[in-house]
Amino acid sequence: METVFRFNPETEFYTDEKCFIIELLNTPDDETCSIARARVEPGITTCLHAVRGTVERYVILEGEAEVEIDGTPFVTVRPLDIVYIPTGISQRIRNTGKTDLVFLAICTPRFKPESYLDLENSR
């Protein structure tokens, strides 16, 4: 297994959730954790969603946002704030700043696309 994973900005892709993702670490060789860099443009709110069987932590790196977890009122978050999201709980984040919102999404166990639940378009 690799021991150093290099940041590669060319791998960034846009998701139906309305954000850009770079998978920094997500491999079957390490089922215990995945780390992605997420980027949300100003004024955008990501789609309401949940992740089955996976706990997420957002580590805010740049920008300012509001996060909604499990239907609670939006809470403001800023750089180095950490948002804890239990498995299966609804979530979304809104970029309230004038620049891109950038954060790490750390998942345990690792994120798998089949665990993603789109709560926005399933109503």
pLDDT of residue 122: 63
Cβ distance 64 to 78 under 8 Å? Answer: yes
At residue 2, the pLDDT reads 80
Binning pLDDT at 50, 70 and 90, where does residue 121 land? confident
Segment 56-75 mean pLDDT: 98
Structure tokens at 60: 């805010």
| Average pLDDT score over residue span 34-56 | 98
Provide CB contacts within 8 A for 4, sequence distance 6+. none
CB atoms within 10 A of CB 82: 12
Across 2-29, average pLDDT: 95
Would you say the pTM of this structure is higher than 0.85? Answer: yes
Whether residue 120 is predicted with pLDDT greater than 90 in this model: the reply is no
> What is the distance between the alpha carbons of residues 111 and 23, in angstroms, rounded to a whole number?
10
pLDDT for 68 equals 98
- CATH 2.70.150.10 assigned to 23-118: no
Residue 75: pLDDT band (50, 70, 90) is very high
